[in-house]
Structure 1
Amino acid sequence: MSRHGRAVAAPGRDLRAGFRHDRGDGGAVVPQGLLKAARKSGQLNLSGRELSEVPQMVWRINLDLPEEANQNHSFNASERWWEQTDLTKLIISNNKLQSLSDDLRLLPALTILDMHDNLLTSLPCAIGELENLQKLNVSHNKLNILPEELTKLRNLKGLFLQYNELTCIPEGFGQLHRLEDLDLSNNRLTAVPASFSSLSNLMRLNLASNQMKNLPAEITRIKKLKHLDCTSNYLETIPSELACMESLELLYLRRNKLRFLPEFPSCILLKELHVGENQIEMLGAEHLQHLQSIHVLDLRDNKLKSIPDEITLLQALERLDLTNNDISSLPHTLGNLPRLQFLALEGNPLRTIRRELLNKGTQEVLKYLRSKIKADTANQNDTPTETAMTLPSQSRVNTHAMMTLKLLDYSEKQTALIPEEVFDAVGSNAITSINFSKNHLNEIPKRNNLLASLPEEMEALTKLQTINLSFNRFKTFPSVLYRLRTLETILLSNNQVGSVDPVQLKQMDRLATLDLQNNDLLHIPPELGNCVSLRTLLLEGNPFRIPRAAILAKGTDAVLEYLRDRIPT
């Protein structure tokens, strides 16, 4: 007899029986070998097995005598079933489950429960007994109500309920004090509980694609909130207190009914503001003066008629989208924004910028605007003066050094800006060294287009947050960047990078934006999906086949989720 009182099988029983596909409850097929492996690893993946219900053997995996214990052979040290590991991770996604048994309480050690893409209309009350649960994914189901018992999961850090049919949220949600990531997008919510203000550790809240007409002011008391997405609702206004959320870094308000841009008196950390596809008519200095950390400003598809000169206050701005507004002219000073890499102007009745110039791209438009500043200055002084944008003569650029020494020398000019004509003079010469010494530069010129590697000494830049290496000649991801754990933004588009290391990227827990557009990536490693800190991942323009363009179009969260689902188990 076994320790559970079961008779040991008679001699001659088929020793392979424990590894066959045995049928559980409801005709479900679960390989015994998979269950055996799960007892060792504590992880069980039953994704995509056409399950209409979870077999009883799964719920009782740590209780019942395993099949292999009945075999008439001795176990080595690695096969001692009585030394099994409690199941901590269960994936039953991409099946046909319509309900779950209360027997899930028999897996109290679970820390991860993934049930996305099923047909669940409700969750059992017993889910509240999984007191060790840290991540619960029930996205892409048919939930129309949540049990109050869900609020007992006090160790929960990630809760994913997107793409369901929820109309309300239990008031007790405020008890989930350890919750860091909450996704309620693509439901039917008209409001969220005021108790959300008690979610003291919440950093990411996604309320996109619901039916909300307003946000409770209490939501602004979530002190650690960094990412708030309210895209595709019916918001006409937002609480003024929202502007005072000092931790907020990414704010998505696209596709609503806003008529005014909120004023941000103290959001010194706000890096991305997306208010496209609203009804905003006016942009004033009061809306811009405190957005000095902003990297991305999306104002597309509104009713703006002008852009104020105060746009130059946004010294950190990298992307400005003004597509489809009513703008007839731009302030010339826009050309002086030092970090601006992307400027979208299509769909505006611009009178001063020709379409063929717009078609040449951002840098040509900015160059044109800077030239107009020069013209304005010359007109004011009645006498033309040489500026940093004056076309350099051949004597100012050492062409001999470029051809023989592969050196671009523009030193001792006492200038604060390297003219673009200096880079144009490079032509087809292969440059390996640059000398810009003894000038007044306050940043690395953006248009070098020459870098193929970074010095290891950069590891000493222990406070670096943003690096822009776009339009260069990198063939590999610079290894030194992996060691700069303070980096929040890496722009590496338009290079020749062939691969990235997802394991090292995951360790960069502050990395929020990674731009790898227009490189030579033939393969996107599924493990990249584990980089949960990423809020913006840009992969378009690479030759890989998977993920498909339709997945990329759904945005960063969808891409990461897709990649995570493809991680081998």
Structure 2
Amino acid sequence: MNPLNERFLNPLYRFKFFACVLFCVMAQISVGYGQYYKRFSSVEDALATQVKSSRRIKAMVLYGDNVTNLSPRISELKYLRDLIIKCKNLKTLPENFGELNLSFLRIKSDSLIALPKSISKIKNLSYLVLNVNSLTRLPKGIGKLQKLQRLEIRSNNLRVLPKSIGKLQKLDTLRLQAHGLRALPKSIGKLQNLKKLILRADALKKLPKSIGRLPNLEQLVLQANRLTTLPKNLSQLPKLKKMTLIVRSLHTLPKSIGNFPELEMLELEVNSLVALTPGIGQFKRLKYLKIVNGRFATLPQSIGDLQNLEMLFLLNVPLTTLPEGIGNLKKLRRLQILKSKLTTLPEAIGNLKNLRELLFRYRYKPSGESLRYREGGRNGQLATLPESIGKLQNLVLLNLSHNQLTQLPKSIGNLQNLEYMDLSYNRLITFPDSFSKLSRLGSLYSNHNQLTSLPKSIGALKGLMYLQLRYNQLKALPESFYKLDLMNLFIAHNKFSQEELKAIKERASPGATDF
């Protein structure tokens, strides 16, 4: 739990004034007190009023767009432990700021350029968050904060980190979003207790070798789009469990990348990556693998050696084939392949007995972009499915939209646990009769196909509640269709006559219908 949240269990005293608002939580509350509001004309007046009871103030939130500086009298709040400052135009902090006895400090400002040197004197500070976009440097004395456990910095103007950062021996989390940062000090390798390193710095071109000497690191997130190589000794992080690499200029991964004995999650967004090293099969504990924007057309056979893999995501990777070894992933539960060049799936796909979700479509929604399904939108090249797909007995969700499918294998009716199916934007003319065996199917989407008829036995789909068949070539519906107890039916833009539409309106279940 956030340290501040823990302390906010006591009644909250709010002090509003013109420049900013102070929220104070009292450590000792007299019976009969309640919430009350009081206005102040300035920060100085507010502090002067409260200083007499300063021993009671333990947590304070200060905010206001008109605040440009803080009164030096803030240092008189000797019992203050948690302080949050949200003042967009704050330019300076008083030099005696270091006389506070804080354990938690969060500052958010667009105008603060530097921190006072005295901040290094806050001996009990354990949590420091700086969302200060104009910050250009940190005080050299920051290494004196020997009790600091978490350091988060967000500043696009920060260029370098002081060498003294390596002296923060209790630091377990370091989060840096500093896209102007050009280098990391070698001393970062001295953070022996660091467990999480999250670094987003697009100007960074090289990592120090010392980054491979963090014996307790468990999570590494690295976003550095100008980085072209990774240190070879990166694989010497013995406790690493989660790794995310967003490095768009990287062409190859180190051969030793498979040497992380504890790795459970791996995310790679590497636009220039031309091949996936066979060493990836050495991740014996890997459960989650996500690859985005690669340039390779095949996966190594060794991918089938990932015996503990549960989730595999291949997004915007121009794959032309999948290795048969993919069928060895016995624990795989989710498989997503979006925007590939595959025309079929291997027969071995049917060996994935524990697979619950299969998404295979061309349309891909990159982060931050909207996804709209439009008629005529570009589709993938998947044209056929293997009969073995019917062996996926635990499959619950199947999405094959935006492809080139003209027919489905009869075995698809064997998917006894299937609940959701999306076949939109293909070239399907009809469904196989075996469709009627999908007893648990609740949602079926087949918009923008070339359907001319539905199976006569479609009425056997007793669990079907949502059905979309827009933009097809349907002229009539089979008699059994009217046995369906639908909540939603969408059949607009077909070839129904007016008489047929009238009959559908009269006989179909009274759910919402789009004609």
TM-score, length basis structure 2: 0.59
Hey, which bits of structure 1, 4+ residues long, moved more than 6 A?
A: 31-38
Q: 1:427 to 1:88 in 2, by over 3 A?
A: same
Give 1:58 shift.
Answer: 2.5
Q: 1:95 to 1:30 in 2, by over 3 A?
A: farther
For residues 48-82 of structure 1, the C-alpha deviation after alignment (integer angstroms, 9 at most, x for no partner) is 464221234422234xxxxxxxxxxxxxxxxxxxx
CA contact (8 A) 1:203 1:227 kept: yes
CA contact (8 A) 1:226 1:250 kept: yes
Answering whether residue 306 of structure 2 is matched by residue 314 of structure 1, we say: yes
Match of 2:292 in 1: 300
CA distance in 1: counterparts of 2:211 and 2:164, whole angstroms: 15
For residues 311-334 of structure 1, the C-alpha deviation after alignment (integer angstroms, 9 at most, x for no partner) is 111122233222222211112442
Between 1:41-50 and 1:301-310, the stretch displaced more is 41-50
Q: 1:298 to 1:324 in 2, by over 3 A?
A: same
Answering whether residue 70 of structure 2 is matched by residue 87 of structure 1, we say: no
Answering whether residue 329 of structure 2 is matched by residue 334 of structure 1, we say: no
Structure 1 SS opposite 2:83: strand
CA contact (8 A) 2:47 2:74 kept: no
Match of 2:97 in 1: 104
Q: 1:291 to 1:34 in 2, by over 3 A?
A: farther
CA contact (8 A) 1:24 1:56 kept: no
1:282 to 275, 280, 286: 275
Give 1:116 shift.
Answer: 2.2
Answering whether residue 65 of structure 2 is matched by residue 61 of structure 1, we say: no
Answering whether residue 119 of structure 2 is matched by residue 127 of structure 1, we say: yes
Give 1:247 shift.
Answer: 1.0
Q: 1:170 to 1:308 in 2, by over 3 A?
A: same
Match of 1:423 in 2: 417
CA distance in 2: counterparts of 1:429 and 1:421, whole angstroms: 9
Structure 2 SS opposite 1:274: strand
CA distance in 2: counterparts of 1:121 and 1:256, whole angstroms: 31
Structure 2 SS opposite 1:275: strand
Give 1:279 shift.
Answer: 1.1
Alignment of 1:414-493 (within 5 A): 421-423=415-417, 427=439
Letter of the 2:94 partner, please give it. S
CA distance in 1: counterparts of 2:388 and 2:42, whole angstroms: 79
Letter of the 2:334 partner, please give it. F
Percent identical among aligned pairs is 25
CA distance in 2: counterparts of 1:338 and 1:317, whole angstroms: 8
CA distance in 2: counterparts of 1:231 and 1:93, whole angstroms: 27
2:188 to 187, 196, 199: 196
Letter of the 1:142 partner, please give it. S
Give 1:159 shift.
Answer: 1.1
Match of 2:234 in 1: 242
Structure 2 SS opposite 1:218: helix
Give 1:427 shift.
Answer: 2.6
Structure 2 SS opposite 1:201: coil
Give 1:227 shift.
Answer: 1.4
Alignment of 1:322-401 (within 5 A): 322-353=314-345, 362-363=357-358, 372=386, 389=391
CA contact (8 A) 2:57 2:77 kept: no
CA contact (8 A) 2:225 2:248 kept: yes
CA distance in 2: counterparts of 1:236 and 1:164, whole angstroms: 21
Match of 1:177 in 2: 169
Q: 1:280 to 1:122 in 2, by over 3 A?
A: same
Write 1 or 2 for the structure with the bigger share of strand: 2
Give 1:273 shift.
Answer: 1.8
CA distance in 2: counterparts of 1:206 and 1:428, whole angstroms: 43
CA distance in 1: counterparts of 2:37 and 2:281, whole angstroms: 67
Letter of the 1:254 partner, please give it. I
CA contact (8 A) 2:205 2:224 kept: no
Q: 1:337 to 1:37 in 2, by over 3 A?
A: farther
For residues 436-474 of structure 1, the C-alpha deviation after alignment (integer angstroms, 9 at most, x for no partner) is xxxxxxxxxxxxxxxxxxxxxxxxxxxxxxxxxxxxxxx
Match of 1:437 in 2: none
For residues 289-331 of structure 1, the C-alpha deviation after alignment (integer angstroms, 9 at most, x for no partner) is 3212122222221111101222111122233222222211112
Letter of the 2:96 partner, please give it. D
For residues 241-282 of structure 1, the C-alpha deviation after alignment (integer angstroms, 9 at most, x for no partner) is 111211111222113311112333431111222221331111
Q: 1:160 to 1:428 in 2, by over 3 A?
A: closer
CA distance in 1: counterparts of 2:95 and 2:89, whole angstroms: 18
Answering whether residue 259 of structure 2 is matched by residue 266 of structure 1, we say: yes
Q: 1:229 to 1:34 in 2, by over 3 A?
A: farther
1:291 to 279, 283, 298: 283
Structure 2 SS opposite 1:190: coil
Structure 1 SS opposite 2:292: coil
CA distance in 2: counterparts of 1:390 and 1:44, whole angstroms: 56
Match of 2:370 in 1: none
Q: 1:94 to 1:335 in 2, by over 3 A?
A: farther
Structure 1's unaligned 5+ residue stretches are: 1-17, 63-85, 376-387, 392-418, 431-569
Match of 2:222 in 1: 230
Alignment of 1:30-49 (within 5 A): 30=46, 39-48=55-64
Give 1:218 shift.
Answer: 0.7
CA distance in 1: counterparts of 2:392 and 2:318, whole angstroms: 33
CA distance in 2: counterparts of 1:100 and 1:88, whole angstroms: 17
CA distance in 2: counterparts of 1:307 and 1:338, whole angstroms: 17
Structure 2's unaligned 5+ residue stretches are: 1-35, 350-355, 362-381, 394-412, 419-436, 443-515
CA contact (8 A) 2:252 2:275 kept: yes
CA contact (8 A) 1:259 1:280 kept: yes
Structure 1 SS opposite 2:174: strand
Give 1:102 shift.
Answer: 0.9
Give 1:115 shift.
Answer: 0.8
Q: 1:237 to 1:143 in 2, by over 3 A?
A: same
CA distance in 2: counterparts of 1:30 and 1:321, whole angstroms: 55
Letter of the 1:190 partner, please give it. R
CA contact (8 A) 1:24 1:57 kept: no
Match of 2:368 in 1: none
CA contact (8 A) 1:256 1:277 kept: yes
For residues 521-546 of structure 1, the C-alpha deviation after alignment (integer angstroms, 9 at most, x for no partner) is xxxxxxxxxxxxxxxxxxxxxxxxxx
Structure 2 SS opposite 1:236: coil
Number of equivalent positions: 341
Give the RMSD, CA atoms, in angstroms.
Answer: 3.5
Answering whether residue 35 of structure 2 is matched by residue 22 of structure 1, we say: no
CA contact (8 A) 2:87 2:108 kept: yes
TM-score, length basis structure 1: 0.54
Letter of the 1:334 partner, please give it. I
Match of 2:371 in 1: none
For residues 367-425 of structure 1, the C-alpha deviation after alignment (integer angstroms, 9 at most, x for no partner) is x9xx85969xxxxxxxxxxxx9499xxxxxxxxxxxxxxxxxxxxxxxxxxx9645366
